[in-house]
Amino acid sequence: MNVATSIGKVDYDGLIPNNVGLGEDVRVKRALEKWHPGYIDWWKDMGPEGFQESLVYLRTAVSVDPKGWAKFDYVKMPDYKWGILLAPQAEGRTIPFGAHAGEPAWQEVPGEYRAMLRRLIVIQGDTEPASVEQQRHLGKTAPSLYDLRNLFQVNVEEGRHLWAMVYLLQKYFGTDGREEAEALLQRRSGDADSPRMLGAFNEKTPDWLSFFMFTYFTDRDGKMQLEALAQSGFDPLSRTCRFMLTEEAHHMFVGETGVTRVIQRTCEAMKEAGITDPDDIPRVRKLGVIDLPTIQKKANLHFSLTLDLFGNEISTNAANAFHAGLKGRYRENRLTDDHKLETSTYPVLRLIDGKIQNEDAPALSALNMRLRDDYVNDANVGVGRWNKVIESFGIPFQIKLPHVAFNRNIGEFSKVKADVDGRQMSEAEWASHRSDFLPNEQDKDFIESLMQPQYEAGKFASWIAPPKVGIDNKPGEFEYVKIA
C-alpha cells in the first residue's frame, strides 16, 4: 500500500481513531495507550467542571476530507474519540524556505535540529490543554445550551490538538518525547509552581465575554502559529497542523460571532430604551446588557495579552527556526521572495531614543514581528464586522484595536507605559488611567452579575442575542446539551 492511499483511510474502531497506521506501529500505539489513562485523568480533573456525564451534541473528526470530515452526535465528553489525523501527504513536497529550501521535505526528524523542533512542538502542545483548564468553570454560567455546546466543542478539540502534538513527540522523539508528553499533563494553567509555558495561558477566563474574546484573539494566535508550522519542512508537523487549522476555524467563529451577538443585544436594548449615548453606562447596564465601552476594554485586554504570545520583535530563535526550515511565515507558499531572507530587511516598530518608530531590521530576525503584523491585520477584519453591527443601529461608537505598545509585558514595549493610541505615559499617569482602558473591579462585578446560566433549550441570557443559524443546521430550540 502506498502512503497516499493509507492516509485516506481512517481506523475509527480502536481506542485511538487515526489515519497514521497506528495498528501496524506497535511501539507508538503502546506508548499512546500508556499515555491515554493519564490524559483521561487530566480531562476529568481539569476539563469542563460539572458536565462530564452530560450528553453533548459534538462533532468528531472522522476523516481529513475537506468536504466531510466530521460527524455530529450526542456524546459524553470523556468518551469523545480523540483521534490522530494528519492532512494527506503531498506527493514530492519540498522544504519551502530556509537553508534547505527545495530539498525533499523531511519524513524523519533532522538530527541537527532535533532539540529546536521538539521545543516548537512542546510549546504548541502546552497551549492546548491550557485553554481547557482556563475555561473549565464556564459551563456553570453558560448563556444558552447552544453556547455551552460550543464551549465544549472547543474544549474537546483543544484536547485533540494536545493528542496531535503528543503523537509527534511519541512517534519521533523517543524517551525525551515520552517525558515531554507526560509533562504536558502535569503543568497547570495559573499554577504557581508548575504553570503553563506562555503568559496568556496562565490568565483567568472568568466570564463568557472573556471566553469570546479569548477565542477571537488568542485562538487566532493559535491559527497564526499553526499556519507558520504548517509550512514546516518536517512533513509530519506540517500535515498535523494543516488538519488542526480546519478545527481552529470553528474556535474563531465562536469568538467572532459570540462578540457580535453581545454587541447586537446591547445595541438592540439601547435602541428599545431610546438610549443614543454609548457612554451612558449606568443606563445601559440597567438594561441587563454589556455597555460598549466595557466590551472595548475587554478587547483591549485580550488583544494585548495575545500580542505577548508572539515573543520579542527581534528574535534569534525565530531566525534559527526559519533558517533551519522548521517554522515558516504566514502563507509562506504564497510569498514570492527568495524564501531565505538572508539579505532582506523588514520594518520593526521599536522604541528608539524613547520614541516609538519603525526601524529596518534583518528580515530573519524580525519574523516574530512579521507574524504579529499578519495577526493584527487578520484580527482587524472581524472588528470591522463588529462595527458594522453598531453602525446599523446608528450608535456613534467604534471598537478599535489598541496600539501594539499598549499594556505589554514582552518585547520592545514592555519597558514603557502607553495608552491605547500608543501615547507614552508616566507610571503615575498609567496608574490613574489604567481603568479607562482595562476592565476595573466595577466592570468585572457588573459582568459577573450577568453571568447567570440559561439552560432552557432555545432561550438566551439577557445580554446576548441568539445566533443566526444553529450548529449542524439544527433549529433554535434544539437541545444541544442534555445536562445530566
Q: Give the residues lining the site for Fe ion (CB under 5 A).
A: 128, 158, 161, 219, 222, 248, 251
* Smallest distance, Fe ion to C-beta of residue 222, A: 5
User: Which of residues 147 and 219 has its CB atom nearest to Fe ion in the complex?
Assistant: 219
User: Which of residues 225 and 300 has its CB atom nearest to Fe ion in the complex?
Assistant: 225
List all residues 6 or more positions away from 333 whose beta carbon is below 8 Å from its beta carbon.
Answer: 96, 231
* Smallest distance, Fe ion to C-beta of residue 158, A: 5
* Smallest distance, Fe ion to C-beta of residue 73, A: 21
Report the distance separating Cα 338 and Cα 263, nearest Å: 44
* Smallest distance, Fe ion to C-beta of residue 217, A: 11
User: Which of residues 133 and 219 has its CB atom nearest to Fe ion in the complex?
Assistant: 219
User: Which of residues 19 and 134 has its CB atom nearest to Fe ion in the complex?
Assistant: 134
User: Which of residues 169 and 341 has its CB atom nearest to Fe ion in the complex?
Assistant: 169
User: Which of residues 240 and 266 has its CB atom nearest to Fe ion in the complex?
Assistant: 240
User: Which of residues 416 and 471 has its CB atom nearest to Fe ion in the complex?
Assistant: 471
Cα radius of gyration rounded to whole Å, the chain = 23
Residue 92, C-alpha cell as written in the block: 514530492
Report the distance separating Cα 465 and Cα 381, nearest Å: 21
* Smallest distance, Fe ion to C-beta of residue 238, A: 16
* Smallest distance, Fe ion to C-beta of residue 61, A: 13
Closest CA to 409 of 200, 126, 202: 200
Q: How many helices (H) and strands (E) does the chain have?
A: 14, 7
* Smallest distance, Fe ion to C-beta of residue 256, A: 13
User: Which of residues 153 and 365 has its CB atom nearest to Fe ion in the complex?
Assistant: 153
Give residue 20's Cα distance to chain centre: 25
Q: How far from 107 is each of 64, 104, 161, CA to CA, in Å? A: 19, 9, 20
* Smallest distance, Fe ion to C-beta of residue 215, A: 7
